[in-house]
């Protein structure tokens, strides 16, 4: 009888121990400006060991979307890791005009900290202080009593800082000097291993080799011809292969690497070095490495979604993912790491490309739009009442409106009527309408989730589908339409079964899902809706 009781207790204890088990390392990958469609369009030219390995052996959410506007880089990274939207976490753009302070601000600006490393003084004045909620990485630090390491890396400061959260050991980002830097928020000096990495100047071999097509020309039949009118200029260079990166580097600086696929390669080299030198995944306490690949965004903005350059960037990123997975298998061990891959937003088609193919849309130059808006105000009210226009937000000069004895509500409605007369504008929502949102209007619901009443404008503008506020070449993003919201979501590794879901999911489900998977607390701003498909044993 005693043996039976002991066996029952032992089994219960064993099951409890198993339920508390966590992976040795979590790797979060964000690919900047990656539409889910790229995994379909470029599939024939991917290897079996990169994106296809994640898709074939992991769990794929085919219908993952952002659930707010504006769909930009900083809000995207913040939303992925906090499990909530800009209305709660407070990162309402990459940079924005703040209603409360009446000042322009950048998402990670922090003048109280200084650059550490070989960067310019301004490049390192960054921290997560503007992020108002905790991240899943923060909650892991708390759950492990700060024993688990958290490190964030990216070419962009915001891509490194926001995912790593408030309690990170380090966040590292790329300087135009070619070095990775950080700020005194994290420490007084860079780790020795990073100084060594920087001293080796890993960026220079990429600069010296230049950029040519990875594969034969015929493989790029998913893209437009090499030189086309929808492509912009890469730092003054004609958008034609091959690119002489050494020449561009000599004319500018090492920042040129950002706008090539080799920025991603350099970041992967740093990730592999960080895993080795920081002993990530080497003990029983879970660590977390966040990686944000930014070159895809730079190339997309400049050269557009139909360029050979963008396709080549993704084919090379496929190889980079493959090498990273091989390194993780070797250093951490298969089955010991949990990896996810997603994107911070998608991207629109070039509007003039669509127009030339008989879809009646075009691009809108923001400076021209604002100029017309200010002229309308002066003609109608006798003065310019436009305080600021940015991120689809219009701010009115309320002090001037009051001093002129004008009725604010009537002024707003007059602006709304004018805006709705513009070709590209579908709807305009006032701040009162946004705050009173009932949730019945899909688009106002997206806007409300991206709207912080203490920071955003007096009205928010929604353009019609297909229009973009951007130049004639390249592309942009920011809307609540599917081309900007539909992104990959791939889970792979520790306790992840193979599978696929076609149900509509939203990006804010990722962080609470990880919290449940790791059996730790939710980030404090999340609504805690989870992806049950990857939680099932």
The catalytic residue positions are 73
Contact 76, 506 (CB under 8 A): no
The one-character DSSP state at 126 is B
Nearest of 446, 475, 223, 477 to residue 346 by alpha carbon:
477
Tokens of 378: 């002066």
Q: Give me the helix-helix angle, 157-164 and 73-82, nearest 10°.
A: 20
The one-character DSSP state at 343 is -
CB atoms within 10 A of CB 384: 14
CB atoms within 10 A of CB 112: 10
Tokens of 422: 């513009």
Nearest of 84, 92, 93, 42 to residue 66 by alpha carbon:
84
Gap between the Cα atoms of 364 and 383, Å rounded: 24
Kindly give, in sequence order, each residue whose CB lies less than 8 Å from that of residue 384, ignoring residues fewer than 6 positions away. 374, 377, 378, 397
CB atoms within 10 A of CB 210: 16
Tokens of 444: 């106002």
Cα 53 to Cα 48, 332, 444, 493, 498, distances in angstroms: 6, 18, 38, 11, 11
Element at 55 (helix H, strand E)? helix 51-57
Tokens of 232: 């912009």
Gap between the Cα atoms of 7 and 364, Å rounded: 72
Kindly give, in sequence order, each residue whose CB lies less than 8 Å from that of residue 25, ignoring residues fewer than 6 positions away. 275, 280, 281, 286, 287, 288, 289, 328, 332, 336, 337, 338
DSSP states along 431-481: HHHHHT--S-SHHHHHHHHT--TTTS-SEEEEEPTT-EES-SSS----SSS
Contact 214, 46 (CB under 8 A): no
Tokens of 115: 């650059």
CB atoms within 10 A of CB 403: 10
Kindly give, in sequence order, each residue whose CB lies less than 8 Å from that of residue 344, ignoring residues fewer than 6 positions away. 30, 32, 33, 72, 73, 75, 76, 77, 80, 159, 292, 487
| Peptide bond just before 70 cis, omega within 30 deg | yes
Q: Tally the residues of the chain.
A: 537
């Amino acid at each position: 009888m005693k043996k039976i009781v002991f066996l029952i207790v032992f089994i219960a204890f064993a099951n409890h121990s198993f339920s508390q088990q966590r992976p040795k390392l979590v790797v979060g990958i964000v690919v900047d400006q990656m539409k889910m469609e790229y995994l379909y369009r470029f599939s024939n030219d991917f290897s079996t060991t990169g994106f296809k390995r994640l898709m074939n052996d992991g769990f794929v959410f085919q219908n993952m979307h952002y659930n707010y506007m504006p769909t930009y880089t900083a809000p995207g990274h913040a939303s992925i890791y906090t499990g909530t939207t800009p209305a709660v976490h407070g990162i309402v753009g990459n940079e924005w005009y703040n209603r409360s302070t009446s000042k322009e601000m950048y998402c990670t600006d922090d003048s109280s900290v200084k650059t550490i490393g070989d960067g310019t003084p301004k490049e390192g004045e960054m921290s997560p202080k503007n992020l108002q909620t905790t991240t899943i990485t923060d909650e892991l630090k708390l759950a492990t009593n700060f024993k688990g390491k958290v490190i964030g890396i990216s070419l962009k400061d915001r891509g490194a800082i926001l995912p790593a959260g408030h309690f990170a050991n380090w966040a590292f980002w790329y300087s135009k000097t070619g070095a990775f830097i950080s700020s005194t928020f994290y420490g007084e000096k860079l780790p020795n291993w990073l100084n060594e990495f920087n001293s080796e100047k890993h960026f220079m071999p990429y600069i010296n080799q230049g950029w040519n097509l990875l594969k034969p020309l015929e493989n790029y039949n998913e893209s437009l011809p090499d030189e086309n009118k929808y492509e912009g200029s890469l730092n003054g260079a004609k958008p034609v292969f091959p690119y002489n990166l050494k020449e561009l580097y000599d004319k500018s600086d090492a920042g040129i690497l950002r706008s090539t696929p080799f920025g991603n390669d350099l970041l992967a080299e740093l990730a592999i070095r960080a895993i080795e030198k920081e002993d990530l995944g080497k003990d029983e306490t879970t660590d977390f490495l966040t990686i944000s690949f930014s070159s895809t965004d730079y190339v997309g903005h400049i050269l557009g979604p139909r360029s050979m350059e963008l396709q080549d960037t993704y084919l090379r990123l496929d190889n980079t993912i493959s090498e990273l997975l091989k390194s993780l298998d070797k250093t951490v061990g298969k089955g010991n790491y949990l990896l996810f891959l997603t994107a911070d937003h998608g991207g629109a088609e070039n509007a003039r490309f669509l127009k030339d193919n008989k879809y009646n849309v075009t691009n809108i130059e923001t400076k021209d739009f604002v100029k017309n808006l200010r002229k309308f105000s002066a003609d109608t009210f006798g003065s310019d009442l436009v305080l600021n226009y940015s991120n689809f937000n219009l701010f009115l000069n309320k002090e001037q409106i009051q001093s002129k004895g004008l009725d604010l509500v009537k002024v707003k409605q007059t602006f709304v009527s004018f805006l709705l007369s513009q070709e590209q504008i579908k709807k305009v929502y006032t701040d009162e309408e946004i705050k009173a949102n009932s949730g019945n209007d899909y688009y106002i619901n997206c806007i409300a989730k991206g709207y912080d009443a203490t920071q955003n404008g007096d009205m928010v503008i929604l353009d019609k589908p297909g229009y973009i506020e951007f130049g004639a070449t390249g592309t942009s993003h920011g809307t609540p339409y599917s081309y900007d919201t539909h992104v990959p979501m791939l889970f792979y590794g520790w306790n992840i079964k193979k599978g696929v879901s076609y149900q509509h999911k939203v990006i804010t489900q990722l962080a609470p899902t990880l919290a449940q998977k790791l059996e730790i607390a939710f980030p404090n701003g999340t609504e805690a809706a989870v992806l049950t498909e990857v939680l099932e044993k």
